[in-house]
A and B are shown apart, each in its own frame.
Chain A
Amino acid sequence: MYKAKVNVTLRPSILDPKGKAAHHALQNLGLNEVQQVRIGKFIELDVDAKDEAAAKEIVESACTQLLANEVMEDFEIEIES
């Protein structure tokens, strides 16, 4: 069994209103050092595969078909055994 960790993030060119709202709130807290906030999604999957490469392939397919919308999002996959 492999554990896959997937980070789905908005593409850099896409405006992130949630990130902007959080950034604004952080400024209200006085954390003015924070220059920018971008909010994405973190998804964990348990994958039954014969090896790490096979697990990665399955998770990639999950990402391109459902977990991320590549019109506006990018994804990164990390596989742990």
Chain B
Amino acid sequence: MATFGVVVFPGSNCDHDAYHAMKHVMNSDVKFLWHKETDLSGIDFLIVPGGFSYGDYLRSGAIARFSPIMQEVVKFAEKGGPVMGICNGFQILLEAGLIPGAMMHNEKLKFVCKNVFIRTESTDSIFTSELEKGQVLDIPVSHGEGNYFIDDDGLKSLQDNDQVLFRYCDAKGKLTKEANFNGSIDHIAGICNEGRNVLGMMPHPERAMEKLLGSVDGKPIFESILHSLSAA
């Protein structure tokens, strides 16, 4: 059975959500990995969870990327190991250079905490293989700095390489201006790296796993991941 590792920084606050989602909903093995650890042996899949690592001082994710474990996460990813960064985790992966681009403050400056809709843009990844192209997911967001930015050449390269996995949309899957609540370029909610083994996404699929909590639309993402790990 595949073992998941959830990285824990001082200030992480979605580490337990990720642990719970993998352990109790997906029935997988999960381990917490403290930011000072450097041993990733036995880990098949890494989750860099949400929160406010190191207080988000300077810029979100800027300090966390220099922590001991992040050096190992980068090596793991560069060898093709699968990594998923959620919210603050996405910001950390950007700062670490595993995914291109940067995060700016939300266009309207507000911290936004609510359920939003995202559209599946590509199923050609280990994170989205069990979804259908165009499938709309109801997933919560909770961030103040989720306004994704990349320069024109970088955006073209993301589009050409089919690296945009999720875009903010309305309930019907339309890319309306209102749906793009944080002002992200090209409605981007989640992208993968060129090697397609690293995913960064601002919405929290690990918080949409049980009907009791409002939505189960996060599950197919983790089902895709488990499917790819069992096939490997």
Measured CB to CB, the residues of A under 8 A from B are: 14-15, 17-18, 21, 66-67, 69, 71-72
Of the candidates B63, B66, B108, B149, the one whose C-beta lies within 8 Å of that of A14 is B149
Tell me which residues across on chain A come within 8 A of B100, comparing CB atoms.
71
- Contact, CB under 8 Å: A17 / B107: yes
Distance, CA A40 to CA B59, complexed state (A): 12
- Contact, CB under 8 Å: A17 / B109: yes
Tell me which residues across on chain B come within 8 A of A66, comparing CB atoms.
58, 62-63, 66
Closest to B149 in A: A72
Tell me which residues across on chain A come within 8 A of B66, comparing CB atoms.
66
Q: Is B98 an interface residue (CB 8 A)?
A: no
Interface string of B58-84 (1 = CB under 8 A from A): 110011001000000000000000000
Closest to A66 in B: B62
Known A14-B104, A17-B108, A21-B109; contact A69-B59, beta-carbon cutoff 8 A: yes
Interface string of B117-161 (1 = CB under 8 A from A): 000000000000000000000000000000001110000000000
For the complex of A and B, list the 4 residue pairs with the smallest distance between their C-beta atoms, beginning with the closest: A71-B102, A72-B102, A17-B109, A69-B102
Chain B interface residue count, Cβ-Cβ cutoff 8 angstroms: 19
Whole-angstrom distance from the CB of A14 to the nearest CB of chain B? 7
Whole-angstrom distance from the CB of A39 to the nearest CB of chain B? 10
Distance, CA A72 to CA B100, complexed state (A): 12
- Contact, CB under 8 Å: B149 / A17: no
- Contact, CB under 8 Å: B105 / A18: yes
Tell me which residues across on chain B come within 8 A of A67, comparing CB atoms.
58
Tell me which residues across on chain A come within 8 A of B101, comparing CB atoms.
71
Tell me which residues across on chain B come within 8 A of A69, comparing CB atoms.
59, 62, 95, 102
12 A-B pairs within 8 Å (CB atoms) are namely A14-B104, A15-B104, A17-B107, A17-B109, A66-B63, A67-B58, A69-B59, A69-B62, A71-B100, A71-B101, A71-B102, A71-B150
Known A66-B66, A69-B95; contact A17-B102, beta-carbon cutoff 8 A: no
- Contact, CB under 8 Å: A71 / B149: yes
Tell me which residues across on chain A come within 8 A of B107, comparing CB atoms.
15, 17
